[in-house]
């Protein structure tokens, strides 16, 4: 037998990292001549027993603050980002946060702390719920990228984004709330573990992501348990990617058990770690050809890691391939552009790589979550020390094994105490090394050894077993769960192309619309289904799809027509029946909705959502017992159905069953301790929760999220109490930039009036208050808001605010004509509503209306909304369509009243128009003494500047002034102290497409 040698955490000789022999205490064995087994010497593992005998302390969990400087963000763009105007980036009803600055300020963030014997982790709920840091207490190293400041750039889905820690991405990457406050909670669990919870219900889909980060006593691993829950009433697209930023240096190694990688869009397959170009991409310093962004391909292995020779530490991520099968590696690269991004994203020019895990094979692939459907999975983050690399890893242990001549070396980390563990080595099918004597293995120590005289041509198998003989970790040399090489097609992949419209089959139209829905292009998908039906009018699949999507888009009239037609053909089409029920509920037709949902609840996908609708009808009818029975049918088969569970608590409370309500509240709080509805219910059951009111005050939509569920179940008094409450303000209310307070949020007032009148009270004063409230950053999106605003307009058709907000609802569904009609009514009554003219002008343009009408609206908008840059963009676009000169367009753009307040994108556009007008001095002057935020995949200020500068010699070349041209070109790229973005040179950008094209034109005229 043999016993491995434990090594306390500390430096190992550099030789270990290179795989050569080292002079440290280790286990040695020799292979006896003629023997079938290896007979080792025996070493004793000292002092392990007493440590194991100590009881692990409970995990500490507390909330406090965390000091971290951050860059100031100005109030967000006031213009609603309707899909109708910009379909490729679905953000409505969120604001666009593109008003970034270069001003850094100290800031104390709310923070959740978890700490056990081995790890100390910090979670920042005010920045998307990021896990900011997790420190390995054994060696003091950070597992992740703890950026010393939050430096914002335009990378996120809405704009503002910062690089640090672990980001949770659902249902899109760099998601809508990545730098915004989210729901959060701390939990101390019965097993002495503790959890930090972060979650969010997004406003685009109404779906929720929920992450529990858990530390257990005596374990050196951070657990991450995620639930994705479609709590809404509609199907929505989604994906999930956990995105961990890990600080890196040139010698950091990326350790992914894979032989092949795929590109974005699955356009090509390449080899790993050495790619077809001959670059070893596992070494960060080799990333000299631009960013590295590759997805694992042909591997079912569950782990990935980054190891840093410079700190002799690293991090391992593990998730079962049945949970999160996809992996990605991202690096900005270490070429000049990558170095620029290090400066843009940090104050210390530090580098990081991203290790990412997802549900689907790449970030162009989305799935659908049906209403009340959920997905659960787990991930594990493991600090590693002194290993030099990783050969095999799982949540219990990480091992590195390597050969040198006739010796075999191993180093092992474990994440939990393993009393009486054994290590077994086997060579081939016959030769084996007798198991070690039982030994106590502990987190925080390195177990290492060397076996001499091993066969070089026989693969080894190493097995770590616990005291009961169960396998903890096992690895056979060279054996990984890879797709066979002969099944891998290297190189470019053929891309599917949808046939031309006149060649498409019925299935092609269905497939195209479905893919557009997956891509979030709902208005395009609607047009696809409609055109498909024009060509295949009897298609059930197209009729059902058009009906379902019409309902999701709040086009109830169209949805009812399509779905009724589908059910006339297939009476047991449960999807059509479910969505028709939703139409009828929206039309206030409970008997019709009940009939539809009684059909769709029979079985299958739509049963839970149908039961929820039926429970709402029963509750409104006063049959609480029946409503509770229906809700329990949902929760009995779905432990994640928090929304029905929360309603169950409310119905038990309102029916006087207080003890049962408290019991169910406790049950569902364990499932989702972040849930604001449950927290509010707890206050109604006697619990004091002052922090809840600050949390709700920080985002009025959180209040509406609770209120609409009470309203759907007829609990108007509970909704009204929430809506009429006075909410706090001040430092304790932490909101994202630009968020209105509930007191000044018109939708709160309109909903309050609706609830009052449902209770037989007078809502006129609430509507009057709502009508006077500002509409800046108020972007209505909820289905329930249609009924609420319709009532407001029925009571007072002259309410310009209600007309304006109803118009926004209409355009969010792509109904431009209806929106314009509403907005014209609002304009006639109150022409000073911010963004109204911008909305109307663009709606006219994008709906194909006369440009003269758009020009009139934009021109009027300059007077009403003089600092709204979209008004100037819109007017310029209109003038261009009308054939106006570049000079006239430039003069129009120059009427923006505050030159230093021009957003960067307006500066870029104006500079190009001035260059087109050959007003070169004015154009170049725009770039001086200004800050331009970095934008991934967007406009680069250096490239725009080069375009503008090259416009002058191009004009000279056209005039034949070649001597002047050459003088201008010699000065090109020289640093200008007034232009900070030129100080490190911009020569490398001359090869980009547009500058290269302009230089080519100049050279052709002046060789």
What span, in angstroms and rounded, lies between the C-alpha atoms of 469 and 471? Answer: 6
Q: Can you read off the two tokens belonging to residue 384? A: 């590693």
**Of 115, 119, 117, 166, nearest in space to 140 by CA:** 119
pLDDT of 976 reads 80
> Stretch 547-554: mean pLDDT, rounded?
99
What span, in angstroms and rounded, lies between the C-alpha atoms of 956 and 971? Answer: 15
Tell me if 360 sits within 8 A of 326, measured CB to CB. yes
Tell me if 414 sits within 8 A of 441, measured CB to CB. yes
Q: Whose structure tokens read 């009470």?
A: 710
pLDDT of 973 reads 73
pLDDT of 34 reads 29
φ/ψ of 719, rounded to 5, equals -65, -45
What span, in angstroms and rounded, lies between the C-alpha atoms of 970 and 101? Answer: 33
HSE of 48 in the Cβ direction (CA atoms, 13 Å)? 24
pLDDT of 793 over the 50 cut = yes
Q: Can you read off the two tokens belonging to residue 807? A: 């118009």
225-234 pLDDT, tens digit each: 999 999 999 9
Confidence of residue 15 (pLDDT cuts 50, 70, 90): very low
Tell me if 438 sits within 8 A of 2, measured CB to CB. no
pLDDT of 47 over the 70 cut = no
Tell me if 439 sits within 8 A of 421, measured CB to CB. yes
What span, in angstroms and rounded, lies between the C-alpha atoms of 494 and 266? Answer: 9
φ/ψ of 977, rounded to 5, equals -60, -20
Q: pLDDT over 70 for what percent of the chain? A: 94
Tell me if 646 sits within 8 A of 677, measured CB to CB. yes
Tell me if 596 sits within 8 A of 584, measured CB to CB. yes
Q: Whose structure tokens read 């049963």?
A: 607
For residue 356, what are the CA distances in angstroms to 20, 119, 239, 688, 807?
A: 32, 21, 13, 40, 41
What span, in angstroms and rounded, lies between the C-alpha atoms of 116 and 96? Answer: 40
Confidence of residue 36 (pLDDT cuts 50, 70, 90): very low
What span, in angstroms and rounded, lies between the C-alpha atoms of 806 and 783? Answer: 11
The vertex-330 CA angle with 77 and 522, nearest 5°, equals 45
pLDDT of 54 reads 53
pLDDT of 271 reads 98
DSSP designation for 941 = H
What span, in angstroms and rounded, lies between the C-alpha atoms of 295 and 355? Answer: 10
Range in 86-95, 525-534, 652-661, 720-729 the model is least confident about: 86-95
Range in 57-66, 518-527, 994-1003 the model is least confident about: 994-1003
Confidence of residue 25 (pLDDT cuts 50, 70, 90): very low
Which strand (E) or helix (H) includes residue 749? Answer: helix 746-758
pLDDT of 565 reads 98
821-872 pLDDT, tens digit each: 999 999 999 999 999 999 999 999 999 999 999 999 999 999 999 999 999 9
901-954 pLDDT, tens digit each: 999 999 999 999 999 999 999 999 999 988 999 888 888 898 899 999 999 999
Where does the chain hold its CATH 2.70.98.10 domain(s)? 60-69+106-385
pLDDT of 974 reads 78
Q: Can you read off the two tokens belonging to residue 352? A: 């990081």
φ/ψ of 37, rounded to 5, equals -130, 160
Number of Cβ within 10 Å of residue 691's Cβ equals: 11
Q: Which residues of 987-1003 are buried (b: 16+ CB within 10 A; e: fewer)?
A: eebeeeeebeebbeebe
pLDDT of 4 over the 70 cut = no
State the chain's mean pLDDT as an integer: 93
Where does the chain hold its CATH 2.60.40.10 domain(s)? 5-54+397-485
Confidence of residue 16 (pLDDT cuts 50, 70, 90): very low
- DSSP sequence for 885-918: -HHHHHHHHTT-S-GGG--HHHHHHHHHHHHHTT
Confidence of residue 697 (pLDDT cuts 50, 70, 90): very high
Strand 313-318 vs strand 374-385: parallel, antiparallel, or unpaired?
Answer: antiparallel
335-365 pLDDT, tens digit each: 988 999 999 999 999 999 999 999 999 999 9
Cβ contacts of residue 808 below 8 Å, gap of 6+? 80, 82, 779, 780, 819, 839
pLDDT of 1 over the 70 cut = no
**Of 907, 883, 877, nearest in space to 894 by CA:** 907
pLDDT of 870 reads 97
| SS3 readout for 304-373 | EEEEECCCCEEEEEECCCCCCCEEEEEECCCCHHHHHHHHHHCCCCCEEEEEEEECCCCCCCCEEECCCC
pLDDT of 819 reads 98
What is the dihedral angle through the alpha carbons of 122, 123, 127, 133, rounded to the nearest 10 degrees?
40
Range in 466-470, 766-770, 956-960, 994-998 the model is least confident about: 994-998
> Stretch 530-554: mean pLDDT, rounded?
98
Confidence of residue 89 (pLDDT cuts 50, 70, 90): confident
SS3 890: helix
**Of 541, 585, 584, 548, nearest in space to 563 by CA:** 548
What is the dihedral angle through the alpha carbons of 434, 439, 443, 445, rounded to the nearest 10 degrees?
-80
DSSP designation for 640 = T
Q: Can you read off the two tokens belonging to residue 563? A: 């779905």
Which strand (E) or helix (H) includes residue 419? Answer: strand 418-427
Strand 208-215 vs strand 194-201: parallel, antiparallel, or unpaired?
Answer: antiparallel
Cβ contacts of residue 686 below 8 Å, gap of 6+? none
> Stretch 408-432: mean pLDDT, rounded?
91
Which strand (E) or helix (H) includes residue 122? Answer: strand 119-124
Cβ contacts of residue 167 below 8 Å, gap of 6+? 128, 130, 174, 178, 242, 243, 244, 245
Asked: is 5-54+397-485 a CATH 3.10.580.10 domain? The reply is no
Tell me if 553 sits within 8 A of 522, measured CB to CB. yes
What span, in angstroms and rounded, lies between the C-alpha atoms of 724 and 713? Answer: 19
Q: Can you read off the two tokens belonging to residue 395? A: 């949540």
DSSP designation for 742 = G
pLDDT of 41 over the 60 cut = no
pLDDT of 411 over the 60 cut = yes
The vertex-777 CA angle with 775 and 782, nearest 5°, equals 85
SS3 449: strand
For residue 3, what are the CA distances in angstroms to 8, 27, 471, 644, 777?
A: 16, 7, 17, 55, 67
What span, in angstroms and rounded, lies between the C-alpha atoms of 503 and 172? Answer: 33
pLDDT of 11 reads 32
Q: Can you read off the two tokens belonging to residue 761? A: 């009270």
pLDDT of 985 reads 67
Q: Which CATH class is domain 60-69+106-385?
A: mainly beta
429-458 pLDDT, tens digit each: 776 777 778 899 999 999 999 999 999 899
pLDDT of 633 over the 50 cut = yes
pLDDT of 35 reads 30
SS3 160: strand
* Sign of the Cα pseudo-torsion (480, 483, 486, 489, in order): negative
Strand 37-40 vs strand 431-433: parallel, antiparallel, or unpaired?
Answer: parallel
């Amino acid at each position: 037998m043999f016993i491995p040698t434990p090594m306390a955490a500390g430096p190992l000789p550099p030789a270990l990292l290179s795989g050569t022999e080292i002079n440290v205490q280790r286990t040695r064995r020799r292979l006896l001549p003629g023997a079938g087994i290896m007979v080792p010497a025996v070493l004793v593992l000292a002092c392990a027993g007493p440590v194991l005998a100590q009881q692990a302390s409970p995990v500490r969990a507390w909330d406090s603050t965390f000091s971290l400087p951050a860059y100031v963000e100005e109030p967000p763009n006031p213009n609603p980002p309707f899909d109708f105007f910009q379909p490729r980036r679905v953000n409505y009803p969120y604001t666009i946060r593109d008003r970034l600055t270069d001003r850094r300020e100290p800031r104390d963030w709310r923070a959740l702390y978890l700490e056990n014997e081995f790890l100390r982790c910090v979670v920042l709920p005010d920045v998307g719920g990021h896990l900011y840091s997790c420190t390995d207490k054994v060696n003091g190293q950070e597992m992740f990228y703890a950026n010393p400041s939050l430096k914002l750039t335009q990378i996120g889905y809405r704009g503002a984004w910062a690089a640090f820690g672990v980001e949770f991405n659902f249902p899109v990457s760099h998601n809508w709330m990545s730098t915004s406050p989210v729901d959060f909670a701390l939990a101390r669990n019965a097993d002495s573990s503790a959890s930090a919870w972060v979650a969010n219900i997004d406003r685009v889909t109404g779906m929720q992501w929920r992450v529990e980060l858990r530390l257990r006593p005596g374990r050196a691993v951070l657990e991450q348990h995620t639930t994705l829950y479609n709590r809404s009433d509609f199907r929505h697209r989604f994906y999930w990617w956990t995105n961990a930023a890990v600080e890196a240096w040139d010698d950091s190694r990326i350790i992914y058990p894979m032989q092949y990688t795929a590109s974005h869009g699955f356009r090509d397959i390449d080899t790993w770690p050495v790619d077809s170009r001959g670059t070893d991409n596992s070494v960060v310093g080799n990333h000299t050809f631009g960013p590295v962004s590759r997805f694992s391909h042909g591997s079912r292995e569950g782990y990935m890691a980054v190891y840093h020779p410079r700190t002799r530490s690293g991090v391992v991520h593990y998730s079962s391939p049945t949970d999160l099968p996809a992996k990605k590696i991202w690096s900005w690269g270490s070429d000049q552009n990558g170095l620029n991004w290090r400066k843009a994203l940090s104050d210390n020019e530090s580098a990081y790589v991203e290790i990412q895990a997802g549900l689907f094979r790449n970030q162009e692939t989305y799935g659908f979550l049906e209403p009340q459907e959920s997905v659960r999975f787990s991930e594990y983050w493991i600090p590693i020390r002194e290993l030099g690399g990783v050969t095999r890893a799982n949540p219990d242990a990480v091992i590195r094994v390597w050969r040198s001549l006739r010796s075999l070396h191993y180093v092992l980390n474990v994440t939990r105490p393993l009393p009486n563990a054994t290590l077994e080595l086997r060579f081939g099918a016959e030769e084996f090394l007798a198991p070690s004597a039982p030994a106590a293995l502990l987190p925080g120590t390195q177990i290492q050894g060397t076996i001499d005289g091993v066969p070089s041509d026989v693969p080894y198998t190493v097995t770590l077993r616990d005291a009961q003989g169960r396998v903890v970790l096992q690895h056979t040399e060279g054996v990984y769960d890879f797709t066979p090489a002969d099944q891998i097609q290297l190189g470019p992949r053929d891309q599917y192309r949808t046939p031309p419209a006149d060649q498409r089959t019925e299935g092609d139209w269905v497939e195209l619309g479905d893919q557009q829905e997956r891509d979030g292009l709902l208005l395009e998908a609607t047009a696809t289904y409609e055109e498909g039906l024009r060509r295949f009018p009897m298609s059930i699949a197209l009729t059902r799809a058009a009906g379902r999507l019409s309902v999701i888009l709040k086009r109830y009239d169209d949805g009812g027509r399509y779905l009724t037609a589908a059910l006339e053909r297939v009476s047991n089409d449960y999807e059509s029946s479910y969505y028709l029920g939703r139409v009828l509920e929206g039309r206030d037709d409970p008997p019709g909705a009940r009939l539809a949902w009684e059909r769709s609840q029979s079985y299958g996908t739509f049963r839970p959502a149908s039961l929820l609708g039926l429970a709402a009808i029963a509750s409104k009818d006063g049959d609480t017992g029946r409503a509770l029975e229906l809700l329990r049918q949902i929760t009995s088969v779905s432990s994640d159905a928090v929304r029905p569970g929360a309603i169950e608590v409310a119905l038990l409370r309102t029916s006087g069953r207080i003890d049962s309500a408290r019991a169910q509240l406790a049950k569902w709080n364990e499932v989702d301790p972040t849930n604001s509805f449950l927290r509010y219910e707890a206050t109604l059951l006697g619990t004091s929760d002052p922090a809840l009111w600050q949390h709700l005050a920080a985002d009025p939509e959180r209040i509406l999220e609770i209120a609409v569920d009470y309203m759907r179940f007829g609990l108007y008094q509970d909704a009204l109490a929430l809506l009429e409450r006075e909410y706090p303000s001040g430092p304790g209310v932490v909101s994202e930039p630009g968020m209105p307070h509930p007191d000044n949020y018109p939708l709160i007032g309109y909903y309050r009036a609706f609830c009052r009148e449902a209770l037989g009270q007078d809502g006129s004063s609430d509507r009057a208050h709502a009508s006077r409230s500002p509409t800046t950053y108020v972007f209505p999106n909820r289905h329930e808001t249609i009924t609420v605003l319709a009532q407001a307009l029925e009571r007072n058709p002259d309410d310009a605010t209600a007309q304006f907000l109803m118009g926004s609802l209409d355009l969010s569904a792509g109904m431009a004509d209806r929106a314009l009609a509403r907005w014209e009514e609002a304009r006639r009554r109150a022409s000073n509503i911010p963004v109204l003219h911008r909305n109307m002008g663009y709606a006219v343009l994008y709906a194909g209306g006369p440009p003269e009408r758009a020009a009139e609206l934009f021109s009027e908008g300059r007077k009403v909304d003089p600092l709204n840059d979209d008004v100037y963009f819109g007017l310029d676009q209109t003038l261009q369509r009308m054939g106006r000169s570049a000079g006239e367009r430039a003069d129009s753009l120059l009427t923006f009243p505050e030159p230093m307040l021009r957003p960067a994108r307006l500066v870029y556009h104006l500079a190009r128009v001035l260059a087109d007008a050959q007003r070169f001095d004015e154009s170049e002057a725009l770039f001086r003494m200004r800050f331009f935020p970095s934008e991934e995949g967007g406009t680069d200020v250096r490239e725009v500047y080069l375009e503008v500068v090259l416009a002058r010699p191009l004009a000279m070349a056209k005039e034949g002034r070649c001597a002047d041209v050459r003088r201008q070109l010699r000065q090109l790229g020289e640093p200008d102290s007034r232009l900070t973005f030129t100080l490190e040179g911009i020569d490398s950008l001359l090869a980009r497409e547009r500058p290269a094209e302009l230089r080519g034109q100049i050279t052709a005229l002046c060789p």
